[in-house]
Chain A
């Protein structure tokens, strides 16, 4: 069984008629998947379909089905689906409903009728995880955009879902905050086996952690596979190529004229291989 499975799924929003076009996609349990693609390509719709909000909240027409944790989203309410999958929406402010930070995180837990002591514990764990410790009593109106985005993440992880869907979760964060968020997602993924699905344009920050990249284009899955394969195909097929991380664009450029290079995850790794390429010793050994 897959964590998420789209089976020949098409969907059209009631007003615009756009949406998803015959998407087939299987996301296994424990995977760290990055969704990317030009705006309007279907990333957000895909995320919403994983939570049942598409179609239940938006209406519209569909064919095929989406299975989340083995269950079809069409046959269950959004609340039932939400038991297994948590979402941080692109418009994260729209999912914040409480007066204070504590109340916001406790909201879902209270709805699950957890004991008060456990709720308190979960809230402080979640706040610590996103770097908002000490702000439990802060009113939401006094938070910055970045803090609100972290809060949205905290309230979702506090419920400990098996599957976590995040739509551009770092859009309001500075580079350091974005790196911390990705490190947190990687930790949840590796240590607790949580399936992580992130929609993002910045693939460099996801590159060290992702095992799968999916590129959406005009409502269809244009590419899916390992980051290495997908980045190479994005470059060779000019499919949303501008989003390929700098290190992979560099590798792609150098490989046009030279040997195959490794799949660098860091600037250090890239520099040491390029240094070896440029070193006089190597030239000597080649000419010998």
Chain B
């Protein structure tokens, strides 16, 4: 749905932030976007939603140059969730906040009500619909920002470091929500420094290094033993789960989580015990 072709970008008076980056985003993708601070991640996502215009190259949404798409078309196609949810929350109740986008679209009352109800439902916010959003915890405010984006029924959701400031359990709940949205067919681009989350949730990884795209492929390949030294050069970290799996003499295949790795190791050990006792494997 989104086709980024040879895009370069520079902030005035600065070295190029992006150099000829090409990237195709298909409907329903789950992409983890990684790289050092300053590698161009946020700039790339801003170009995707039309918050910045490329110096050269072009971004196509369903084949149409995004420069020609109005903000309404962009906002309907792609939802953007800022790293700091407080930057996009300004109304008195959660429901009003979520209704802002649909109001701007001048949808009918019934369409608006339906869109808000659906967005609150998807994000588990029904119980706080009447609450003052700034009085909620950071984790809830993050959900409000996501619900506001979802109210326009976008096909793609871009989230910039959505787990920052969240504790381990809030993080797990948020990722669970993103998995669910993705299963419903919404594409997700997750900008993150958390390689454990990237490995566990994104099927595809894109890595930027000094403004260039240096990796684009299945996430487990990013952390495979052969790529591990490069990953370090790009300022990333191989998650411990992948590092352990990569160093086992008996290949257990790609694993995405502690549970998967433990299951495979236990499977091997059980197999061993059966062999020893002579029982059929």
- With A278-B250, A278-B272 in contact, is A242–B169 under 8 Å at CB? yes
Among A171, A240, A278, contact of B168 (Cβ-Cβ < 8 Å): A240
> Within the complex, what minimum Cβ distance (angstroms) separates B92 from chain A?
20
Query: Is there a chain A Cβ closer than 8 Å to B109's Cβ?
Result: no
> Do residues B248 and A271 form an inter-chain contact, with CB atoms below 8 A?
yes
Q: List, in ascending order, chain A residues with CB within 8 A of B276's CB.
A: 283, 286-287
A173 to B268 alpha-carbon distance, docked (Å): 38
Residues of B within 8 A of A242 (CB): 168-169, 171-172
A271, closest chain B residue (CB):
B247
Contact (Cβ within 8 A) A174 B240: no
Q: Contact check: which of A40, A247, A278, A279 meets B265 at CB < 8 Å? A: A278
Given A242-B169, A246-B239, decide whether A254 and B265 contact each other with a Cβ distance below 8 A. Answer: yes
CA distance A177 to B167 in the complex (A): 20
Q: Which residue of A lies closest to B245 (CB)?
A: A271
Does the CB pair B172–A174 fall under 8 Å?
A: no
Assess whether B167 is in contact with A204, with CB atoms less than 8 Å apart.
no
Q: Mark A166-179, 1 if CB is under 8 A from B, else 0.
A: 00000111111111
Interface residues of A in 242-279 (CB under 8 A from B): 242-243, 245-247, 249-250, 253-254, 257-258, 267-268, 270-272, 274-275, 277-279
Residue from the list B35, B239, B258 in contact with A249, Cβ < 8 A: B258
Taking CB atoms, residues of chain B closer than 8 Å to A271 are 243-244, 246-248
* CB of A98 closer than 8 Å to a CB of B: no
Least CB distance, B281 to chain A, in whole angstroms: 13
**In contact, B138 and A171 (Cβ under 8 angstroms):** no
Q: Per-position contact with A for B21-51: 1 when CB-CB < 8 Å, else 0?
A: 0000000000000011110000000000000
Residue of B nearest to A282 (CB): B272
Taking a contact as CB atoms under 8 Å apart, the answer to whether B172 and A250 are in contact is: no
Q: Which B residues are CB-close (under 8 A) to A250?
A: 240-241, 244, 258, 261-262
CB distance from B190 to the nearest CB of A (A): 15
> In the bound complex, do residue A267 and residue B247 qualify as a contact, i.e. CB atoms below 8 Å apart?
yes
A277→B265 CA distance, assembly (Å): 9
Interface residue? B139 (CB, 8 A): yes
Give Cα A253 to B267, complex, Å: 13
- B60 interfacial contact with A, CB 8 Å: no
Contact mask A24-46 → B, CB, 8 Å, 1/0? 00000000000001111000000
Residues of chain B within 8 A of A267, CB atoms compared:
238, 240, 243-244, 247
Q: Report B's interface with A, CB cutoff 8 A.
A: 35-38, 137-139, 164-172, 193, 195-196, 235-241, 243-244, 246-250, 258-259, 261-262, 265-266, 268-269, 272, 275-276
Offer 22 A-B interface pairs, CB within 8 angstroms, sorted by A. Answer: A39-B137, A173-B37, A174-B36, A174-B235, A175-B195, A176-B36, A176-B235, A201-B168, A240-B168, A243-B167, A245-B240, A247-B240, A254-B266, A257-B266, A267-B243, A267-B244, A268-B243, A268-B247, A271-B247, A274-B265, A275-B249, A278-B265
Q: Could you list which residues of chain A lie within 8 angstroms of chain B, going by C-beta atoms?
A: 37-40, 144-146, 171-179, 201, 204, 240, 242-243, 245-247, 249-250, 253-254, 257-258, 267-268, 270-272, 274-275, 277-279, 283, 286-287
